[in-house]
Every structure is written in structure tokens, then in C-alpha cells.
Chain A
Amino acid sequence: DGGITQSPKYLFRKEGQNVTLSCEQNLNHDAMYWYRQDPGQGLRLIYYSQIVNDFQKGDIAEGYSVSREKKESFPLTVTSAQKNPTAFYLCASTGLGNTGELFFGEGSRLTVL
């Protein structure tokens, strides 16, 4: 079945460690996104990419990095520079066009110990 797969679902890390969250889609979507969600909060945009080998910073890009080497994949690295990384991370994708619909993965919950 087509969809977006995020891994791992749960992740624990020690302070000072980088961690990479995986996001893979087989929907043949051009655009992919990373959002962060904190308890009781909306989704805040970290990075997005509309085409391979190109990506743009969102509202809260500091302390994060991404790559888009393949259309299907958009991994997010949470670096040690991110001051408060404990959160729920959501990856999404969409085809080009004005539909307003994002397809989300099941999310990755990162806890920094």
C-alpha cells in the first residue's frame, strides 16, 4: 500500500547526541515536510522540500538539518544544537497542486534523557 513510513516510532537519546529520523514515501509525491509538535500545540514547520536536492527552512529550522537525495526519502537530523529536542516529529508529503492535503506518517516521538 502507498504511504509514508517514519522510523523509529520511539527514540531516546542522551544530551549532546545527534539523531536521525527516517521518512520514506512511495506515493510519488514531489514535496515533503517535517513538522514538530509539542504537547497541546499545533504543528510547527521545520524544513520542507519541493524537489530533489533542494530544501527550505521553515519557522524553527535551528538545530535541525535535512537532505533530499532521493524523491522518496527526506531524513531529518536533530543535532546537539537543538536546545529542546523532546517532541513528536511528523513527516508529510504532497503532490504539486493546490489541494491543501498533506499525507502524514505515524510520527516519531523523541525523548532526550
Chain B
Amino acid sequence: GQSLEQPSEVTAVEGAIVQINCTYQTSGFYGLSWYQQHDGGAPTFLSYNALDGLEETGRFSSFLSRSDSYGYLLLQELQMKDSASYFCAAKANSGYALNFGKGTSLLVTP
């Protein structure tokens, strides 16, 4: 089977840094993706890690440790517009489909 675990909710203050963790159990693991979804909207792609290490894209960074089956999304200089749900998703050898975690609801407060 395949499963991804991430916290259900996180709250942080505007301007701060927040880390959203994701642990996975995926046979034939290829890589870990992160998506952002605002209420009622479609998920949008943030990042993808196929190899161990840190990937940086502007205020967002993503990390992967294949040996620990663990990754995280790091959001810096938080803005109110970052309030959204964040999903980790694993790509496996069963095809090109992604398996998603249940999502982390991030609330950014003033």
C-alpha cells in the first residue's frame, strides 16, 4: 500500500517561517511533490524532489530524504495569501499517477 502522513493544521504569523512535514510509505518511490490549494480552487504545483536534498524556489523550499522516507516544505517570509492547504504527493512505479496526502491547512495570522 501507499500512504503519506502530514499534519492536519498549522498556524503561523505573517513574516515568519513554517515547515510542513510529510512522511511516506510508497513502494517504488520516484519522488515527492508539493501542491498548494486555496479554498474552492485547483491545486497548483510548487515543487518536486526526485533526489535527496533541498530545492529552493523563491520563498518556498522543499527537502527530501529518501533514506528516512521524509520530506518537508519550508515557507519563508509568510504572507496572508499563503493561507491555503498544502499537499505532499508521491510518485511511484505504478505509473505516472501521484498519490496525495490528506493535506495541511496553513493559517497565516497578522
Contacts and interface: CB of A to CB of B under 8 A. Distances in A.
A98 to B, nearest CB: 6
A40 B8 CA distance: 9
Contacts of A43: 43, 87, 89, 100
B32 interface: yes
A94 B41 contact: no
Contact of B33 (A33, A44, A101): A101
A2 B33 CA distance: 22
B33 A107 contact: no
Interface in B28-51: 30-33, 35, 41-45, 48-50
Interface size class of B (residues with CB under 8 A): 20 to 34
B43 A96 contact: no
Interface of B: 4, 30-33, 35, 41-45, 48-50, 87, 89, 91, 95-103
Contacts of A98: 30-31, 50, 91
A105 B42 contact: yes
Contacts of B49: 100
Contacts of A103: 45
Interface size class of A (residues with CB under 8 A): 20 to 34
A27 interface: no
4 tightest A-B contacts by CB?
Answer: A100-B48, A100-B33, A104-B42, A42-B100
Contact of A45 (B32, B87, B97, B102): B97
Contact of A102 (B32, B50, B98, B103): B98
B95 A101 contact: no
Nearest to A56: B95
A106 B40 CA distance: 9
A76 interface: no
Contacts of B95: 48, 50, 56
